[in-house]
Amino acid sequence: MGQLPAVTRHTAAAWLIICVSSVGAQPSDNPAAPRLPVFDSVAQMQQACESMLSLREQEMDELKALPLEQGTQETVLGAWDDMLIHYRDVAGSLALHAALDPDEAMRETAEHCRTRAGQLQGEQYQDKAVYERIQAAVPQRWEAIKLRNDLLRAFENSGVALEDDRRSQLRVIKDAINRLDQEFETRIRNNTDTVRFTRAEQAGLPPEYIERLGRDADGSIDVTLTDGDFKPFMASATDADARRRYYRAFMNRGGERNVEILRQINGLRARLAEFHDRKHFADYVLRSRMHGSAEDVQDFLQTVKREVDAKSREELLELRQIKARDTGQPVEQVRINAWDLDFYSERLRQARYSVDQESLRKYFPMPETLDWLFALVEDLYGLRIVEEQAQAWHPDVRFFRVEDSRRGLLLGSFYTDLYPRQGKYEGAAAFDVRKASLRAAQRPISVLVANLDTNGLTMSDVETLFHEFGHVLHGLFAQTYYSIHGGVSVNRDFVEAPSQMFEEWARRPETLRRLSDGCDRCPEMEPELIEKLDAARRFGIGLHYARQILYARYDMALAAGQSSEPLALWEELESEYPLGHVSDTAFPGTFGHITGGYAAAYYGYLWSQAIALDMLSTFDEGLMDAEQAEHFRFTVLARGSERDPAELLKKYLGREPGMDALITDIRGERSMLDEPASETQASN
């Protein structure tokens, strides 16, 4: 429950789709699992980029040349979806190379192509001739009606209806935002700064941690500004000054330039909203979300905040008591600093529940933990996950085909890239690189990315792994007619819900008990340990939510034009957070969520959490209830964005979603240990 950006960034962008038809692939077909093109050289990548862009232009030209009276569901909407499929076949790989390729020149080439592709796409969404053909297309299928509406809105958002010069200005703004966002991300990813700690400053660090980093001749270690190095240090280094020094460096890893980039992006977004006669960027974004306005979101955040305030004050007092005992100071004089939070939370969990995250690694070794995850989803959903050989961008990468064994169908495939290396995407994510399409008989491909410790995982690593795999499943189970609707192409304030729900499979006794099956070196998870883990999880929940609310309020305030100075606004809002503002830190320069697709959408993590817990309450017969899983798979996951999330949820739950389950969780009253049948959380 650290206070740092615990939330991972996800590529929920509309990457591709695919799918699984209930006709077609029979077991006897034994079709090959879909694989991605992987590039070996800069030249090869450049060539693929040129072909991709020129094919896209050519397909657009063909669409423009189509006589209006010939505009039909297939000639316009089908052709549009085909164009996206062809484009994403290459663009999906480029996204991976940009984020994951070990070679910097390859990453830069991929990034450069993505910039050009983004510009081309921006131009295309302003094309009047294509817009007219989409207007003229007469849809018959309900999926086509949704697609047509989505496209018309996307064209209108790009300013297709504006006068020529205004339209060009809008494009310049959008291109500038994309370029700045890429620069922001690249600066974080390519940051090679390190912080040095002497032998004395290493007190409390696990020996495996020090061994992994390696000491130099005088016994010092150099740590990088990545989560993988930072989090364990903050939880275990006893030297408060060392923690403070690392905390400051980590919070400033984006540098002044990134804060300036955020300021510029924010200004450009305000202008973008003006073009659409919207009062601010939040207003512009939210009109197509589950929450329709900034006020609506602020109300939601306030409701949650009221619950969280009391809980986090309680927890903070407990942490101060521990620190007071540790330092011999009176509790009234003790303050928990930002760099103390993880350390004393860990101390408290060890003292009170005898749970220490480092000692959990032996229960969750890699790759056996991944095998356990696979075995659970195989049982739950009737899948078969089989490793195969495939060309990849790094030797760590593995490739798996996924079959629906109950129906004898090939669903799709996924890659895993799980261990850290220089220049790799920070944190964890699922890349939905190819989407399902029934129409095009295309199967999906996802990529599971993380930066895990090869010595084994902590509880929060395990939850992250399950979370990201939840996104992978969302992509694999898509059965959407058009690729554009597949998998995680759903609204930003819903996309996290299935994954947040799936984190629960990492925590419950009924799944944890199976950890040692098929793993000789995994110690058995004793019931007492599971109980302690549950109690330990519940401690710190108030402070965790407090941080999430801070991020969401900050994002919404910025997007709603409350301030044009990101750092000043951050200082103001962070000062209201229980731990207060830390001077000389610039978290906004690291907050890539909001320079990218989570602008005016960060609240979606909290809203998704409310939905996730509500959906979880339907598994009242236990998490391994295959019938319920099947209902979830086909009602929610398979539908992607073909239907609005509110409609899917109502169909799945049989009622409107509610916030009761979230409130129970915030109060720390939700236990994993209840017998399944007696679970009553999240009733409406």
DSSP string, 117-141: HHHHHHHHTT-HHHHHHHHH-B--S
Please choose, out of 39-47, 344-352, 485-493, 499-507, the segment that lies near Zn ion by the rule CB under 5 A: 499-507
| CB nearer Zn ion, residue 10 or residue 289 | 10
| CB nearer Zn ion, residue 315 or residue 665 | 665
CB of 345 to Zn ion, least distance (A): 23
| CB nearer Zn ion, residue 344 or residue 502 | 502
CB of 172 to Zn ion, least distance (A): 32
Is 489 among the residues that bind Zn ion (CB under 5 A)? Answer: no
Among 499, 548, 585, 681, binds Zn ion (CB under 5 A): 499
Interface with Zn ion: number of residues (CB under 5 A): 3
Please choose, out of 210-218, 257-265, 491-499, 668-676, the segment that lies near Zn ion by the rule CB under 5 A: 491-499
Q: What separation in angstroms does the CA of 621 have from each of 306, 530, 651, 675, 680?
A: 32, 20, 19, 9, 11
| CB nearer Zn ion, residue 481 or residue 607 | 607
**Residues in region 351-380 near Zn ion by CB under 5 A:** none
* Cα 156 from Cα 160, distance rounded (Å): 5
| CB nearer Zn ion, residue 561 or residue 597 | 597
* Cα 34 from Cα 414, distance rounded (Å): 9
* Cα 606 from Cα 453, distance rounded (Å): 28
User: Taking a C-beta distance cutoff of 8 angstroms, is the pair 188, 227 a contact?
Assistant: no
User: Taking a C-beta distance cutoff of 8 angstroms, is the pair 550, 574 a contact?
Assistant: yes
Site string for Zn ion, 3-42 (x = CB under 5 A): -------x--------------------------------
CB of 468 to Zn ion, least distance (A): 7
Please choose, out of 131-139, 169-177, 493-501, 530-538, the segment that lies near Zn ion by the rule CB under 5 A: 493-501
**Residues in region 306-335 near Zn ion by CB under 5 A:** none
CB of 463 to Zn ion, least distance (A): 11
3-state SS assignment for residue 369: helix
CB of 166 to Zn ion, least distance (A): 36
| CB nearer Zn ion, residue 150 or residue 496 | 496
Query: Is the bond preceding 365 in cis, omega lying within 30 degrees of 0?
Result: no
The encoded tokens of residue 425 equal 């995407």
User: Taking a C-beta distance cutoff of 8 angstroms, is the pair 266, 566 a contact?
Assistant: yes
CB of 65 to Zn ion, least distance (A): 41
CB of 10 to Zn ion, least distance (A): 4
CB of 23 to Zn ion, least distance (A): 32
Please choose, out of 2-10, 385-393, 447-455, 641-649, the segment that lies near Zn ion by the rule CB under 5 A: 2-10
Place of tokens 């793993």: 519
| CB nearer Zn ion, residue 432 or residue 496 | 496
* Cα 358 from Cα 360, distance rounded (Å): 5
CB of 68 to Zn ion, least distance (A): 42
CB of 429 to Zn ion, least distance (A): 8
Please choose, out of 129-137, 497-505, 585-593, 630-638, the segment that lies near Zn ion by the rule CB under 5 A: 497-505
Please choose, out of 206-214, 233-241, 386-394, 490-498, the segment that lies near Zn ion by the rule CB under 5 A: 490-498
| CB nearer Zn ion, residue 336 or residue 429 | 429
**In sequence order, which residues have a C-beta less than 8 Å from that of residue 384 and are 6 or more positions away?**
378, 402, 403, 404, 405
Report residue 24: phi and psi, to 5°. 95, -125
| CB nearer Zn ion, residue 449 or residue 519 | 449
User: Taking a C-beta distance cutoff of 8 angstroms, is the pair 220, 199 a contact?
Assistant: yes
| CB nearer Zn ion, residue 11 or residue 585 | 11
* Secondary structure E strands in 418-505: 429-434, 445-449
| CB nearer Zn ion, residue 566 or residue 604 | 604
Q: How far from chain centre, in Å, is Cα 489?
A: 12
| CB nearer Zn ion, residue 93 or residue 500 | 500
Report how far apart the first and last C-alpha atoms of the chain are (Å, whole number): 28
| CB nearer Zn ion, residue 344 or residue 415 | 415
CB of 492 to Zn ion, least distance (A): 11
The encoded tokens of residue 45 equal 């990548």
User: Taking a C-beta distance cutoff of 8 angstroms, is the pair 485, 641 a contact?
Assistant: yes
CB of 470 to Zn ion, least distance (A): 7
Radius of gyration of the chain (CA): 25
Identify residue 28 by its one-letter amino acid code: S
Using CA atoms in the order 87, 93, 94, 97, what is the torsion angle rounded to 10 degrees?
180
User: Taking a C-beta distance cutoff of 8 angstroms, is the pair 472, 464 a contact?
Assistant: no
CB of 370 to Zn ion, least distance (A): 18
3-state SS assignment for residue 669: coil
- On the CB side of 503, CA atoms within 13 Å amount to 18
Please choose, out of 111-119, 365-373, 488-496, 606-614, the segment that lies near Zn ion by the rule CB under 5 A: 488-496
| CB nearer Zn ion, residue 10 or residue 291 | 10
What residue is closest to Zn ion based on CB?
10
Strands 398-404 and 383-388: antiparallel
| CB nearer Zn ion, residue 483 or residue 499 | 499
User: Taking a C-beta distance cutoff of 8 angstroms, is the pair 119, 127 a contact?
Assistant: no
CB of 430 to Zn ion, least distance (A): 7
CB of 471 to Zn ion, least distance (A): 6
- On the CB side of 153, CA atoms within 13 Å amount to 10
Residues that bind Zn ion (CB under 5 A): 10, 496, 499
